[in-house]
Amino acid sequence: MPCNIPMERIFEYADDELNPLDKVDFERHLAGCDTCRSHFDMVQRMRADITAELSVEAPPYLGRKIANTLERELNQEVLAGSRVAQSLVQRLGQGNAWAQIAAVIVLTAGITLASSLAFFGRPDQKESVAQEVASAYRRALFQDSVVALADTDGARLRQWFQQKSLAVPATLSFSQDGFALRGGRLDFVDGKKAAALVYGHESHQIDVFIWPETHAEQKPEFKTSKNLNVAYWFQNGLEFWAVSDASAEELQHLSALMMTKS
């Protein structure tokens, strides 16, 4: 006698989706029905085949490949590298191909050495902060806007930071010296709340992170981190970290302005 149990009921049983009473009822039926048992066996075989077919393993290299892509997107190494190489060639005053190749070799060796040191060395505390500000600079570039408050008026921006309980120097605007204030945002660096000022200088962006720090006045020191130039200094109970893809000379210029006009 043909069985009138629909296949859907077998699927639901196989998926453990029947309510307890229906399940008991169906199991009783299954025990006495060859047709349903045969269908159920085939469903289970088919499910095993589907599972086998869909259980693919991710290629072992995929995680590393993605991490590298992510890092590359952030670092924009090619752009930064080509700018440095270009300036190196210009400084050498030799526009021929061999000079360019030499510049690229020097640059590559430098980057490799710097990367190796960063990888194998144990970074000191300043190194660690340099990496943090460099990462914060990169991260901001991914946002819709690098500033939370776009205001070119230094006094208003200072007031905004003060409302957020963040101290910044009295003078923030240096547009006459070529550093156009674009605005500010709040950030978190070295475990501290930081005011982040954003300046435009030619085609570059410079971020200056500031937070309170009781430290004797100290003139700027320079580092590179993640292919960015970094400068840090202390003045009037504040710690300053400037970071940019602009040259170290340009950071030095801005830091001198901030120190003398504050």
Nearest distance in Å: CB 47, other proteins: 6
DSSP string, 172-211: --BGGGTBEEEEEEEEEETTEEEEEEEEEETTEEEEEEEE
Does 57 interact with other proteins (rule: CB under 8 A)?
yes
Bridge pairing between strands 180-189 and 204-212:
unpaired
Of the residues 80, 99, 106, 148, which one makes contact with other proteins according to CB under 8 A = 148
Q: Decide whether 193 or 215 has the Cβ nearer to other proteins.
A: 193
Say if CB 222 and CB 76 are below 8 A apart. Answer: no
Bridge pairing between strands 228-235 and 192-201:
unpaired
Q: Decide whether 45 or 219 has the Cβ nearer to other proteins.
A: 45
Build a one-symbol-per-residue string for 171-210: x at contacts with other proteins by CB under 8 A, - elsewhere: ---------------xxx----x-----------------
User: What is the total count of residues that contact other proteins (CB under 8 A)?
Assistant: 43
12-20, 96-104, 172-180, 204-212 -> range binding other proteins (CB under 8 A): 12-20
Nearest one of 136, 102, 112, 125 to 243, comparing CA atoms: 136
Nearest distance in Å: CB 91, other proteins: 33
Nearest one of 97, 182, 120 to 147, comparing CA atoms: 182
23-31, 60-68, 236-244, 251-259 -> range binding other proteins (CB under 8 A): 60-68
Cα–Cα distance measured from residue 109 to residue 219, given in angstroms and rounded to the nearest whole number: 30
Q: Decide whether 45 or 261 has the Cβ nearer to other proteins.
A: 45
Say if CB 171 and CB 261 are below 8 A apart. Answer: yes
Does 59 interact with other proteins (rule: CB under 8 A)?
yes
29-37, 40-48, 121-129, 242-250 -> range binding other proteins (CB under 8 A): 40-48
Q: Decide whether 55 or 214 has the Cβ nearer to other proteins.
A: 55
Does 261 interact with other proteins (rule: CB under 8 A)?
no
Q: For the chain, state the CA radius of gyration.
A: 31
Residues 126-145 that bind other proteins (CB under 8 A): 135-136, 139, 142
Does 70 interact with other proteins (rule: CB under 8 A)?
yes
Nearest one of 256, 204, 205, 249 to 233, comparing CA atoms: 256
Does 119 interact with other proteins (rule: CB under 8 A)?
no
SS percent in the chain: helix, strand, coil, step 5: 55, 20, 25
Q: Decide whether 75 or 247 has the Cβ nearer to other proteins.
A: 75
Q: Which residues pair with 180 in a beta bridge?
A: 200
Q: Would you call 68 helix, strand, or coil by DSSP?
A: helix
Name residue, tokens 């230094």.
154
Q: Which residues pair with 189 in a beta bridge?
A: 192
Q: Can you give the binding site for other proteins, defined by CB under 8 A?
A: 7-8, 11-12, 15, 17, 42-43, 45-47, 49-59, 62-63, 65-67, 69-71, 73-74, 135-136, 139, 142, 148-149, 164, 186-188, 193
